[in-house]
Amino acid sequence: MRRAPIVITATIVGAAGVLLFKPLPVSSLTGASAVGGAGGSTSTSTGTGTSSGGSSSGSSSSATPSTTPSSSASSSSGGSSTRTATGDLEQDRYGDTQVEVTITNGKITEVTVLAYNDGDPRSADISQQAMPLLRQEVLSKQSAAVDAISGATYTSNAYEASLQSALDKAGYTSPDGSKASTDLSSADANLF
């Protein structure tokens, strides 16, 4: 009988926490200068070599990923060079992950998430929390080989693999020469 008030209080607090939970919007995953808003597809103009972002409609947490890589290079009047490349679509047991990278004057200036692990609500929540941290680490280190986010190993591995494939397509080499693994086949084996 003495435990009943504690159990009832814990149940009420837990139910309130679940009901008040609000996941991050997809737009927060892509950074301030997101291409095409909340995800989207990239189209490349063949005449000028510049890239423009499309937009995605609907309330899905991930855009329909394009498996065709796109890469473009453009020059502006200031002599700056900008390249954009879309990484491979990486699949694991929790969903699909795909990123796009923008490199300006030999530096990674933007990483945009096109699709992320959202196979179930828990996976989507983990990905929404990990993606901004991974982006920040990549922009800071200027490499896809960054530390995995604790509790988001699958998300981290897929993000890094897609990003590394995009960097390879763009012909980018990190300042320290590091490369992230693009082989996710042993990811499950490494966790056990």
Q: Give the angle subtended at the CA of 151 by the CAs of 163 and 115, to the nearest 5°.
A: 35
DSSP at 62: S
Print burial letters for 55-77: b (CB count within 10 Å at least 16), e (below 16): ebeeeebbbebbeebbbbeeeee
The CB density around residue 7, as the number of other CB atoms within 10 Å, is: 9
User: Does 170 score more than 50 pLDDT?
Assistant: yes
105 versus 16: which is more confidently predicted? Answer: 105
Domains of the chain, each with CATH number or no CATH: 27-55+62-177 (3.90.1010)
Task: Report the percent of the chain where pLDDT is more than 90.
Answer: 36
CA–CA distance, 152 with 57 (Å, rounded to integer): 27
Stated pTM of the model: 0.60
pLDDT per position as a tens digit, 48-69:
333 333 333 333 344 433 333 3
Tell me what the pLDDT averaged over the chain comes to: 73
CA–CA distance, 25 with 131 (Å, rounded to integer): 12
pLDDT per position as a tens digit, 137-162:
999 999 999 999 999 999 999 999 99
Among 32-41, 90-99, 125-134, the least confident range: 32-41
Q: What is the DSSP string of 109-144?
A: EEEEEEE---SSHHHHHHHHHHHHHHHHHHHHHTSS
The pLDDT of residue 189: 46
DSSP at 108: E
Query: How do 95-104 and 90-92 pair as beta strands?
Result: antiparallel
163 versus 79: which is more confidently predicted? Answer: 163
The pLDDT of residue 22: 65
What is the number of H-type helices and E-type strands within the chain? Answer: 4, 7
Contacts of 72 (CB under 8 A, 6+ apart): 44, 45, 49, 50, 51, 83, 84
User: Does 88 score more than 90 pLDDT?
Assistant: yes
DSSP H or E segment with residue 74? strand 71-75
Q: Averaged over 113-117, what is the pLDDT?
A: 90
